[in-house]
Structure 1
Amino acid sequence: MTDQLTHFNDQNRAKMVDVSDKAVTARTAIATGQITMRPETLTRIHDGQIKKGDVLAVAQVAGIMAAKQTSTLIPMCHLIPLTGVDIHFSDDHATTITVSAKVKTKHVTGVEIEALLAVQTTLLTIYDMCKAIDRGMLISNVHLVEKDGGKSGHFTYQEPS
């Protein structure tokens, strides 16, 4: 990884990186994050007892939609044709739901931000749908798990030591 920042021009002003000379390659990114809540909130999600509807189904669609809209929300992101977005849920059957998003493309730039935005939006949608009964939910541990493709190659998250 380089220490050189790429989103600044020769006047040290923001710019969108020119990717026109980069090769089209298959690119994948996986991100994850968690939302912690009261045990009774998670039970109500599992039992379909949240008045706004099926929390995980709505959150899943929201995450997919967010990935597709990344370039409209994050100023220096390129508009990328996504070839796949998949959101998965797991939980500890107590207080925490873990969300993971896998995003794929065949393009000239990566999809890390799309995966991270998908996770964040999925988690925020869970919060939104459950906030009437649990405003103390905590969104945490959002990070890139893995990315592959492109000039920088493969990356796998390592816990900070």
Structure 2
Amino acid sequence: MKSTTRGTLAAVFTCVAAAAGAAPAVAADAVPVPLPLQGVEKSLHVELPEVGGELPLPKPGSPEGPRYVEGRLLPDRVIPQLPVTAGLPGAGLRAPLPHLLGGDFDHVGLDAPASDLRTLGPGATLDAPLTAPRGAFGLPQPKLPEAGIITPVLQTVPTAGLGLGPGL
């Protein structure tokens, strides 16, 4: 086998392995973000808090189509709202807390998990300056045009927990 063929096969296998390794990361809802403090602990000879978090990945949804309303020439929601689901970032913190009566260390912990977040972007609605035709031979009547902006929506329920315990 020539060296160029071997190099090409090696490049193909490398790309396939990289794609297979990245596939589970793309399917995740959140990306963990640890804060490494072990080097500082060893250099200062002190016990530091453990800090970590997670960043959620936004997922766009499909917008609702226009709604046809009786009596209007144009459909309602000319520019539809785009839904996006994601989450608020989560955090975890465990800090040493010196025990006053002994040499042990207790800890204080704060856990704020990533919570779901649902949003809808702004949209627009508009109506023509004519009414719908009336009857079989009726003509549309003039009227004032209508335009409006649909406000964005943001819904979430964040939670957090604070606790004390032995050890770190």
TM-score (structure 2 length as normaliser)? 0.25
Relative to its length, the structure with more strand (as a share) is: 2
Larger radius of gyration: 2
TM-score (structure 1 length as normaliser)? 0.26
Greater relative CO (CA pairs within 8 A, separation 6+): 1
